[in-house]
Chains A and B, each alone.
Chain A
Amino acid sequence: MKKVLIVDDAQFMRLSLKTMLEKNGFHVAGEAENGILGIAKYIECAPDIVTMDITMPEMSGVEALKAIRKHDPKACVVMVSAMGQESLIKEAIINGAKYFIVKPFKEDQIVETLKKICQTKE
């Protein structure tokens, strides 16, 4: 089972993602509510995939992405962002984000995205 780390400052988003992913055969190995905690959790639970919100307190998703990729250049980080944050997503992709999910997301979209990413990884 693929291990997923969810990084998002909104509890609601974490719960939504977790529910959707666990229903579809992913294992949510950890959750974090800002970039800094996200990095710590990444090191702690070494997930296969990270879903990373962009706008967060303490440390933004893009900064956290950079740090995680520095720690583990193979890290597979999927950005989760709202409409209107195109420029930040671009920055994230350039900095090694694997893909991105647009909020509001539908269950099938997110599951397809993550499953395809897993396939590509293999």
Chain B
Amino acid sequence: MAGDHTLEPMLDMFLFETDQLLEQLEQIIIHSEQSDTYSATDINEIFRIMHTIKGAAAMMLYDNIAALSHAIEDVFFYLRDTNPENMDCTKLSDLILSSIDFIKTELKKIREGDRVDGDAAALNSSIKNYLEILKQSNPAPLENSGTGVISVTNQQYYIAQDKKAASTQNKCFKAAVFFDAGCEMENIRAYTVIHELKDFAEDIHYIPENIMEDDSTCEMIRQNGFVVRFSSDRPLAELHDFFGKTILMKEFQLEETDPPASGEKKARPQQIVLEDPVVKIPPSPEEGLPAKNSEIHSSNQQSMISVNVAKLDRLMDLVGELVISEALVVQNPDLRGLTLDNFNKAARQQEKIISELQDMVMSVRMLPLTTTFHKMQRIIRDMCKKLGKDVQLELIGETTEVDKNIIEHISDPLMHLIRNAIDHGIETAEEREAAGKTASGKITLEAKNSGSDVIILITDDGRGLNKGKILDRARQKGLLHKPENELTDKEIYNFIFAPGFSTQDKVTEFSGRGVGMDVVTKNVNSVGGLVLIDSVAGEGTTISLKIPLTLSIIDGMTIRVGNVRYTVPITTIRESFKPQAKEIINDPDRNEMIMVRGQCYPILRIHRLFKVTTSVTDFTDGIIIMVENEDEVLCLFADELLGQQQVVVKALPPYIKNIRQAEGLAGCTLLGDGSISLILDIGGMMRRGYSL
């Protein structure tokens, strides 16, 4: 089944849905654990989730996942039914969280095309043990104590017809039905036969008898078939037809028999009369208006659809193309010098619609940070357990929305930061109390919008960063690039993001290996974001991630150098101005600087950096654009400004990226006149500028 390529969409759906359900499950567990009890709704919900996962996994033939979810389903089935009092919530949460992890690992294997070979036997048996212990400590009340009807097991049942008494012209028949191997629930299948048969047959007896009450009758039916005796006025051929239509049946035998001895009827100790179903709906708020009710529901629920991300990416690309082609039309050289009042009017309208469309497409790609933030709860829980610390997590602004691609890039950094905060930041309860703080630590995860950026703050109330220790370590690792007494606090703190840096002498399971913090900067920078750090000794640390809302369309200032166009991201520009000769300073090393309002800034000639020929080499003929990146300021020298416009960022083709010359370029874009403009990456330019 798994080899069938038509299953691809189903596999996708399986992975997608199971992932979602696991997220949901994890939330419920963490929540329940905080209140140390499982509410009835939670139990129902967990049961349903496990049930759904089990069903889907079994369909996809992932037996290990199916078996594990079945085991958990059983536990919650029991909890739902008996509601025992003395259950060990923590242990159960542990078991389920480990199971979630197991399933997640398996899903990952599926996604990567590996063999799904995880062995959950140990986990499975601990879950079963848990259920056993639970059952033993909560002896079930005597079964069926209230229902006497079904307590007799050894009689033959028959179905009486209230239409008429068994008439004499009825002939007697005996049928034996064998079902398909592996069709399961044979007893109920047999029951459906009886259910249909009673429309035109009487005196129905069958073996095994108590099919509806005893599920073990399945085995008997599998071995000996389901044997029915009945009388009917229908001809043999018609009955033959009836049995032939039995679903999932392997074979059947049907024969006419002699009528049973007349005394037998009286020997029947009991009757069960199966009547036509009387449909009873318990009086509930829904009654009478299910349709009306569901309309409201459907308008709520059916309004959501899930869409393949690849399609969204394509849509985004197309809108990007549309923005470019709009510019191609409106700024077409053929139109130059013409009076086009009506055209301009129409063009403005079109521009408005296209920009709305662009906003809409972007908003479609936006996801709230909720899931990412909630994942952190699990990490905190696990770490606190292992490290014996008590940390509360506060989430603020979790509904802030960010582009999906960006969310994927910041999930890992967040995880590392949280781990570090717990491992290094938050002190043990004793230390905290000694320092006059509350015994339990607190980590705040906050997200907020700020212009075209989202800022995520990770704040802990721990011991703060140890400047001395960081400096020592930086010295050991040879990271100091200027005299120690000239380093600002921020520069010192930034050392912790250097590759291989760790002040922790011993490596713990969670952090201290020095990998991680540099991953944070790497990941955040790769989406054009920044990491800032601030700390007060004894009071805590705040790490802020400044992340752009989206990657694909930016506001840019187009500039010209020689014949080449460049686009500078507007967000990096502080100001631009025509310099005067007296402001230019040359230092003894012939580095060019400019004095602006008493501050001195280095100048970088773009034409020199990218080796472009231009007639404008005198500062007073061109223009200075002051840009900043991570608190560093640089003045770019270009020929002229061409104007501001939104540009669609296209990645540089790999063959350009692979040569070193691409440093300082973030990508390229198409301008309205069809020419290509290179988008400048200010951070990269600074690094490249130093090496000139």
Contact = CB atoms under 8 A, between A and B. Distances in A.
Interface residues of B, number: 54
Interface stretch (B48-56, B101-109, B314-322, B445-453): B48-56
A66 to B, nearest CB: 5
Given A9-B48, A37-B301, A99-B192, A117 B59 contact: no
A113 B54 contact: no
A70 B283 CA distance: 13
Interface of B is mostly: helix
Contacts of A119: 245
A119 B215 CA distance: 29
25 contacts: A11-B306, A12-B14, A12-B59, A19-B9, A36-B294, A37-B297, A39-B291, A40-B291, A40-B295, A40-B297, A55-B51, A59-B286, A63-B281, A86-B215, A90-B188, A90-B191, A104-B58, A104-B59, A104-B61, A109-B180, A109-B183, A113-B248, A116-B245, A117-B247, A120-B196
Interface in A11-28: 11-13, 15-16, 19
Contacts of B291: 39-40, 43
B290 A15 contact: no
A52 B247 CA distance: 17
B6 A40 contact: no
A40 B298 contact: yes
Given A19-B6, A109-B248, A12 B290 contact: no
Name which of A11, A63, A104 has the most chain B CB atoms within 10 A of its CB: A104
Contact of A86 (B13, B47, B73, B188): B188
A96 interface: yes
Given A39-B291, A43-B291, 13 more contacts: A9-B52, A12-B52, A36-B294, A37-B298, A55-B48, A55-B52, A66-B280, A86-B185, A93-B191, A99-B192, A100-B188, A104-B55, A109-B180
A84 B71 CA distance: 12
Interface of B: 6, 9-10, 13-14, 16-18, 45, 47-48, 51-52, 54-56, 58-59, 61, 66, 70, 73, 180, 183-185, 187-188, 191-192, 195-196, 212, 215, 245-248, 274, 277, 279-281, 286, 290-291, 293-295, 297-298, 301-302, 306
A74 interface: no
Contacts of B281: 63, 66-67, 70
Interface of A is mostly: helix
Interface of A: 9-13, 15-16, 19, 33-34, 36-37, 39-40, 43, 55-59, 63, 66-67, 69-70, 73, 82-84, 86, 89-90, 93-96, 99-100, 102-105, 109, 112-113, 116-117, 119-120
A114 to B, nearest CB: 9
Contacts of A12: 10, 13-14, 17-18, 52, 56, 59
Given A15-B9, A39-B290, A93-B191, A82 B280 contact: no
Contact of B185 (A56, A73, A102): A102
A102 B196 CA distance: 20
B411 to A, nearest CB: 24
Nearest to B66: A104
Contacts of B280: 66
A10 B17 contact: yes
A117 B48 CA distance: 29
Contacts of A83: 184-185
Contacts of A43: 291
B474 to A, nearest CB: 52
Nearest to B287: A67
A37 B301 CA distance: 9
Contacts of B45: 57
